[in-house]
Amino acid sequence: MDQHDHTPESTPEVSASRRQLLATGLALGGSMAVSMPLWAQSGPIKIGHLTPMTGFLGALGEYAAQGIKMAADEINASGGVLGRQLEVLTEDSVNPQVAATKAQRMIERDQVAFLMGEISSASALTISQVAARNKKLFMSIGARSDVLRGKDCNRYTFHVDIPVTVMVNAVGQALLRDNMVRGKRIFSLTADYLFGHDLSKVARKFWANNGGTLVGDELVPTDATDFSPYLVKIRQARPDLIASNLAGNQVTNFVKQYAEFGLPYPVVGFNLNTADAWAAGEGNLGGIWPTVWHHELQTPGSKAFVANFIKRFNRVPENHAWIEYVSLRMLAQAINATKSVDTDKIIAYFESEAEFDILKGRKAYFRSWDHQLMQEAYPFTVKPKGTYKEKWDFLKFGEAVPAPNQPLDLLATTKEENTCKM
Amino acid sequence: MKHKHRPLLIAAAALVALPLVFTSIGLTYDAATVVVILALAAMGLNLLVGYTGLVSFGHSAWFGIGGYAAALAQLHWFRDQMLMPFLFAIVFTAVLSLAVGFVILRRRGVYFSLLTLALCALTFAISFRWTSLTGGEGGLGGIERFSFGPFDLNQHATYYAMTALVAWLVVFLLLRIVRSPFGHVLVAIRENTQRATFQGYPIDRYKLVAFVLSATITGLAGALMVYLHRLAAAESTTVAFSGELLAMVVIGGMHHFLGPALGALFYALFRELFSIYTDNWLLWFGLVFVGFIIFSPQGLAGIWAKLRARWNPPPTDSAAMSKRKIYEGLPLPEFLRPQSRPGVVLEAQNLSKHFGGIRAVERNHLSVEAGQVHALIGPNGAGKTTTFNLISGMFEPDEGEVRLHGRVISGQSADRICQQGLARSFQITNLFKGLTIYENLRLSLQARHADRFNFWRDVDDYADIHAETRELMKFLGLEGMEQVGGADLSYGGQRLVDLGIALGSKP
Amino acid sequence: MEFIFLLEQAVNGLVLSGYYLLLALGLSLIFSVGGIVNLAHGAFYAIGAYLSLEVIQVTGFASSIFITPVLVGLLGILFERFLLRRFYNADPILSLLVTFGLAMVAEQALRMIWGAAPLPSNMPPEFKGNVMLGEFMFSKYRLFILGVVIVVLSGIWVLLNKTAFGRVVRAGVQRPDMVAVLGIRLQPYMTAIVVLGVATAALGGVLFGPIAIVHPAMGTEIMTVAFVVVVIGGLGSFWGVVLAALLVGVVRGITIHFQPAAGEASMYILMFIVLLLRPRGLLGERIERFE
């Protein structure tokens, strides 16, 4: 039986024990309250953080938890926000049902001011519904499905990561440039859940609009470990190109087994996180993929972040660590700017399209009508063997898209494509 | 009178106290609702496991099926209602479990348990992968709660109250079932399936009804959970969740009525409180579960019972047999005297039975007339017991036929043969060792009663059966030993009871 | 052309069977001798996979194939001595429950020690690539697994049928009381069989690690397949398990060809059908206490 790991509630080692943090927070907050009269509330600002630490997205969730922790510690070390410490309660979201339950509990029992996190689009959806029902802000950090920003959007949810449309467009540009689309036969493997279905839909449009023919699109369950049946089908189809709409460690598994069988068709994909790429292993991965951020980015902010992360956690950060890091900083900025933790005021601040420094070349902002963060993305390929030293060096990152002279929302969905109504 | 209804009072008190206690230690109303729902599911499971002795490793399948049925019903047919989808879920689960039970109850013991495990895994596979029907990994969201008259079920406290009310009603129903003739037969099936058959009970029917009731109650709990979370997901159908339900039953105490509810509370508290201190609370819970199985299979309720026995020790008994009051020269009780029908009562002709190459019985003839005592003598291996087994229905004869009062009984099941008036005792005593002598005999008498399927009326209401049992005990010289357990008897006592069980079938 | 690929799916399924067989065999062995359905069997598979990740770093892949099962076998001795032994003569349901609980505990322990996130493992580069046999393409590595399985299978068969050890074991399966009366102490044999069973499971874990991802729930995932195979084949039958493994692999492969999502479900439906028509499995024997 292929089952989800079933552990409804667990607190990872990454976040300090709640009691300890609570004690410190109360002590600090208490002393602050003594010195700051009137408007300052004592006690830390609690943030409910949910991220998958088990299952096919589990490796990414670990990075996410580390990223947000580093941000929280940095902010707290420099005095916190509005004089209060940030207390991030990180928990394993496990699956959509458990995520919703935990989100509800965090709001009711733990009295969190905001909800943040999530990588699985299916879980993000259930959390966003809980958030809307309770009128609490939810920053959906790593979930990429289009429908979250589209027909399932709501006023209380903001989306940080690049959505499916941007990912397809980012890779698509490179594919068109390399002449891998027009007249080609493409075989796809799609993750059988919300995100995968979304990605497949947008990818199909892309192929259709650019003269490619989709000869097969197989749905792969998220807990599948053996890809050999799909490889047999690929061999039967004899495509010119294999396009992956898989997620999390499905990609890793597929790529490994693909290399195991040694099939000759080139593989590209519209979704890959650097952690999954590393896990696939050098020599197994090829093709073109998109990413929202990478560790070789040459901006000063990014370089400092990477250095600090390596020093603290002894490993190179991948994009989920980065995105959680900057998300907490964005929230902190919003709280400071509005001088409150009131949900409506923060929403208004974000919707004002205020700009944030997310350690990239260009600043980012939330689009007011669909709450999507507008930012750059990067396509990447693999370096030829022998041209790199460390195992995490085998990826070759391209230039930012959109280009510096193009508008930041160039690759994003248009109002015609996006049915979001808030 | 009051003793019988104590579980209802305890349940009511607990349901009222639970949210108060929970909120005082920082937990929510929703957490209390979850406890009630899990307790309900566990009690449903226990009807099968604790009472009937059929261990189901896949009860979460019913929990999930009930939930999905309610969700699909609301999403597709009963858009703005809660009651109709809920009723649909109950009916659907009952019908489906009837079909499934009919098929898998043909196997017993370990094979039955493994079949339930496979059923659960199959249900998970369908829930997780049939995305167009069940929503796949994301599940079915968008379930809504509405108002019931002036009560808005979207409020946490109101929903808890409704759940508690439903739970209490189900507990009431369960109590009636357990105290009914039907419920007592389930226990007999658990204790000694074979003897129950020979007492005249068609045990397959009982097992099926127990299975359906058990599955439906758990399915009902599943529907309540879907309304609580406003989401139906594959999470509810995992084998791991089945295991947790079973753990609740075992830890709480499977031979006690409210045991599973206690187990559910334990589980929930464990989870809520331990998860604050350690990420690995399920590890400790698993260890506790294993510990209970090894050291105290009777669970928490069993520990409580043992402690109570320490504080209030029951009066010491001298040897079991010494309590007898023997009445000399008692006539056969009235109800055991059949109308006299002269002539051949039992006739067996040309009976043959082969086991592989061994011919155990070869063309036997037997004829017993009214009022006769007929003895069958033969050396070891002659086939005496096999002949008995053929006549009483344990095996079907390869050839020949048996007639009772002229009607053919060979080829029928043992319970049907018994119902027609033929009873047998066993060479190796075959009692219900875990039950009292009184109950052993009462079950026989109940088997011939019209109300033997009744699952609503209390067993104590049947004064006629009780009168007959007392008279039978008096006749057998067992009066005064009613409460002695079958296992506590000496060999002679056991033989007496064995004979009594056969007599109790009113042959 | 279509048919060739259907056949290839079936054959691919067969190859996968080989690896199910390793697990099912161990499970069946323990069942035959101890009368216990070891629902914790998958845990040993998972432990084998995790341990091999550590062992590989020290000795490399080839050696870990031998070393890891031995280590897990040692664990099996403790398992038999302190846990299983209590339940040989108990109600079979209790042993089901206790091994189920143990599986739960083992999974959580793995999470605690190695973390919840899946761990990557790499295949040695010599094994990568495919081999063409006529029209069929096989991965080199899976053929290697198949080879290992055949070797292990033969070894166990010889052990059970051609040695004195095997004779005692087979007698013990049928009538343990008679074996005792003959003056033979059955206990050490049972321990040996349990050790053999869990070591085979661990070997399965070592072999499958490089193909897939190692994560704490992998034990439970594989358990259902393993026991489906055992139950279809017949609790207690050697050839039944082999036959069932092949059948399950082929049925799964064919189902996936037409409807991948139903591949999983097809196994259970097969098991249902077999259990209803032949309750003791295809080649199983009647063991009274399980009915």
pLDDT digits (tens, 9 = 90+) for A145-164: 888 888 889 999 999 999 98
Where in chain B is CATH 3.40.50.300?
Answer: 339-504
State the greatest distance between any 2 C-alpha atoms of chain B, in Å, as a whole number: 81
Q: Categorize the per-residue pLDDT at B315 as very low, low, confident or very high, splitting at 50, 70 and 90.
A: low
C-alpha to C-alpha distance for B462 and B446, rounded to whole angstroms: 9
Q: Are A137 and A159 in contact (CB under 8 A)?
A: no
pLDDT digits (tens, 9 = 90+) for B421-451: 888 888 777 888 888 888 888 888 888 787 7
Distances (CA, A) of A229 to A64, A177, C5, C266: 33, 32, 10, 15
The reply to whether residue C211 touches residue A257, judged by beta carbons under 8 angstroms, is: yes
Q: CATH topology for A18-162+298-374?
A: Rossmann fold (3.40.50)
B132: closest CA of chain C, how far (Å): 11
Of C37, C102, C262, the CB nearest to B290: C102
C-alpha to C-alpha distance for C89 and C180, rounded to whole angstroms: 15
The reply to whether residue C116 touches residue A5, judged by beta carbons under 8 angstroms, is: yes
The CA radius of gyration of chain A, in Å to the nearest whole number, is 21
What is the CA A68 to chain-centroid distance, rounded? 12
Query: Which chain B residues are closer than 8 Å to A65 by Cβ?
Result: none
C254 within a domain of the structure (yes/no): no
Total structural domains within chain C: 1
pLDDT at C1: 52
Alpha-helical segments (H) within A36-118: 58-77, 96-108
Q: Categorize the per-residue pLDDT at C286 as very low, low, confident or very high, splitting at 50, 70 and 90.
A: low
Domain boundaries, chain A: 18-162+298-374, 165-291
C105: closest CA of chain A, how far (Å): 12
The reply to whether residue C223 touches residue A56, judged by beta carbons under 8 angstroms, is: no
- Spatial neighbors of A261 by CB under 8 A, at least 6 apart, are A228, A231, C129, C130, C137, C139
C96: closest CA of chain B, how far (Å): 9
Distances (CA, A) of B11 to B40, B41, B169, B260, C120: 11, 15, 10, 12, 50
Structural domain span for residue C97? 10-217
Q: What is the mean pLDDT of residues B258-268?
A: 92
Q: What is the mean pLDDT of residues C195-206?
A: 92
**Residues listed for chain A:** 422
Q: Are B313 and C142 in contact (CB under 8 A)?
A: no
C81 within a domain of the structure (yes/no): yes
Q: What is the mean pLDDT of residues A211-223?
A: 88
Q: Are A162 and A138 in contact (CB under 8 A)?
A: no
Q: Domain A165-291 has what CATH class?
A: alpha beta
- Spatial neighbors of C183 by CB under 8 A, at least 6 apart, are none
Single-letter residue type at C175: R
Q: Are A199 and A271 in contact (CB under 8 A)?
A: yes
Among all residues of chain A, which has the CA nearest to that of B124? Answer: A3
> Which architecture, in CATH terms, is B2-273?
Orthogonal Bundle (1.10)
Q: Which CATH superfamily is domain B339-504 in?
A: P-loop containing nucleotide triphosphate hydrolases (3.40.50.300)
Q: Are B171 and B7 in contact (CB under 8 A)?
A: yes
What is the side-by-side strand order in the sheet with A289-291? A289-291, A378-382, A395-397
Q: What is the 3-state secondary structure (H, E, C) of C261-273?
A: HHHHHHHHHHHHH
Query: Chains that contact C by 3+ CB pairs under 8 Å?
Result: A, B
C135 within a domain of the structure (yes/no): yes
C131 within a domain of the structure (yes/no): yes
Where in chain B is CATH 1.10.3470?
Answer: 2-273
Of A10, A260, A279, the CB nearest to C123: A260
Q: Tell me whether the CATH fold assigned to A18-162+298-374 matches the one assigned to A165-291.
A: yes
For residue C105, is pLDDT > 70?
yes
Among all residues of chain C, which has the CA nearest to that of B240? Answer: C104
C228 within a domain of the structure (yes/no): no
For residue B317, is pLDDT > 90?
no
Element housing B131 (H / E): helix B131-134
For residue A4, is pLDDT > 50?
no
pLDDT digits (tens, 9 = 90+) for A160-205: 999 988 888 888 888 888 888 888 999 999 998 888 898 999 999 9
Neighbours of B334 (CB within 10 A): 8
Element housing A198 (H / E): helix A194-209
The reply to whether residue B286 touches residue C105, judged by beta carbons under 8 angstroms, is: yes
Distances (CA, A) of A240 to A190, A266, A272, B200: 17, 7, 21, 72
pLDDT at C288: 54
Single-letter residue type at B450: A
For residue A25, is pLDDT > 50?
no
For residue B314, is pLDDT > 70?
no
Q: Are A366 and A158 in contact (CB under 8 A)?
A: yes
C-alpha to C-alpha distance for B181 and B459, rounded to whole angstroms: 6
Q: Are A171 and A290 in contact (CB under 8 A)?
A: yes
Neighbours of C32 (CB within 10 A): 22
B109: closest CA of chain C, how far (Å): 5
Model pTM score:
0.85
C265 within a domain of the structure (yes/no): no
Element housing A291 (H / E): strand A289-291
C-alpha to C-alpha distance for C216 and A228, rounded to whole angstroms: 22
C140 within a domain of the structure (yes/no): yes
Among all residues of chain B, which has the CA nearest to that of A12? Answer: B279
What is the CA B269 to chain-centroid distance, rounded? 28
C residues 192-211 closer than 8 Å to A (CB): 210-211
Q: Which of B110, B241, B255 to mutate to test the interface with C (most CBs of C within 10 A)?
A: B110
For residue A31, is pLDDT > 60?
no
Task: Enter the DSSP assignment of A84.
Answer: B
